[in-house]
Structure 1
Amino acid sequence: MTHVQPFNTQFTLSREYLAECFDQSLPHGKGAKPNYLFPLLLFAAGAGLLSFTEQLKVASYMLIALAILELLHIRFRRAWWLTRQMWGKGAGGEVNLTVNDDGIQTQNAHTQTALLWSDIERVIETDLGLILVAKSGGRQYLSKSLFPAGLVPEIITKANGEA
């Protein structure tokens, strides 16, 4: 059984940190490649109703508006995600991070999470951080800038050794 050197730190859940979380996690998430098929189908259905029926045009315009709204969602998803996170209770607050032989714990004024080593399915290492993938499917991003140089390989080894 490998041991991890105990480590405690604090960091601020700032806009810059959240932007790093988004940018580093996006290529490894489910929505890495935008789905343009859905807005295309909405637009086609709206245009088809508009062109080929004599009914009220409200449904056609609603479908076209939904297609445009979905395209805006795809285009501005980073900004929208960051805005939602900054509206959250934890934004701008201090987060206590603890790494020890039990796992990784984070705590702020509103939430406390604990991810045991045995609950980690795998660790995805990015250029700037680590994505901890839990067996339950949840993901947690931690920036490498939070850790001393030797701790990142220990975390990866520990997580992979327990999986």
Structure 2
Amino acid sequence: MTNLQSLAEGITSDLTTHQKQQVAHVQPFNTQFTLSREYLAECFDQSLPYGKSAKPNYLFPVILFAAGAGLLLFTEQPKVVSYMLIALAILELLHIRFRRAWWLTRQMWGKGAGAEVNLTIDEDGIQTQNAYAQTALLWSDIERVTETDLGLILVAKSGSRQYLSKSLFTADLVAEIIAKANGEAESIPKG
């Protein structure tokens, strides 16, 4: 009988908790921002520690250099392949060293650089639109939100990431976005 009582209490407790919770609502919000070099730099700097390549991989250039040096020193093959492998190792090291500058340059060369972006947040999700692209990220498609010092990283279930600067929002809206995206509910006692 005690097992049944504890089971009944657990079910009652779950039902009461469920009744107290209500899905977090997000107030509709529209704004515009420019994909400027400063915004893109913030995006890179804030996203890097949470990305897949937060720590540079030095193994690949070391292997390239070792293979090139090995071919150069221990074989009688033409030296072109050896020099190419060593050059690729140096190029990869330069890529690692200057990855921020290289990423920013690639973004600034893109047709979206300098464009005005319309950002809309509503009950469906988060939409961005500019003259060249339109994206929509539904709340149900967001796996999690990572809050950084200056922004939010929205991680979709597909693995894609989208960065939004906190400077675009009020503190209350940032809290609402995090609550909605993470599927948290506000505890509102029913009376």
Measured against the shorter chain, the TM-score band is over 0.9
The aligned amino acid for 1:100 is D
Q: CA RMSD in A?
A: 0.8
1:36-89 Cα distance to aligned partner (Å, 9 max, x none) = 000000000000111111111111101100000000010111001000100111
Matches within 5 A, 1:19-58: 19-58=41-80
Distance 2:81 2:111 in 1: 38
Q: Report the counterpart of residue 151 of structure 1 in structure 2.
A: 173
- What's the offset of the Cα at 1:124? 0.4
The aligned residue for residue 91 of structure 2 is 69
Q: Identity of aligned pairs, percent?
A: 87
- 1:74-113 equivalence runs, <5 A: 74-113=96-135
Residue identity in the other structure for 2:115 = G
For the residues of structure 2 that align with 1:12 and 1:71, how far apart are their CA atoms?
32
Q: Per-residue deviation at 1:123?
A: 0.2
1:8-28 deviations in Å (ceiling 9; x for gaps): 000010000000000000000
Q: Aligned residue for 1:10?
A: 32
In structure 2, distance between residues paired with 1:110 and 1:66: 34
2:93 is aligned with what amino acid? L
The superposition leaves residues 101-129 of structure 1 with CA deviations (integer Å, 9 ceiling, x where unpaired) of 11000000011100000000000000000
Tell which structure's C-alpha radius of gyration is larger: 2
Distance 1:137 1:70 in 2: 26
TM-score, scaled relative to structure 2: 0.84
SS of 1:150 mapped into structure 2: helix
Which position in structure 2 is the counterpart of 1:122? 144
> Shift in Å at residue 149 of structure 1?
1.8
CA distance in 1 between counterparts of 2:87 and 2:174 reads 47
**Alignment partner of 2:170: what SS?**
coil
Q: Which amino acid aligns with 2:182?
A: N
Deviation at 1:143, TM superposition (A): 0.2
- How far apart, in 1, do the equivalents of 2:73 and 2:182 lie? 57
The total of aligned residue pairs comes to 162
List runs of 5+ in structure 1 lacking aligned partners: none
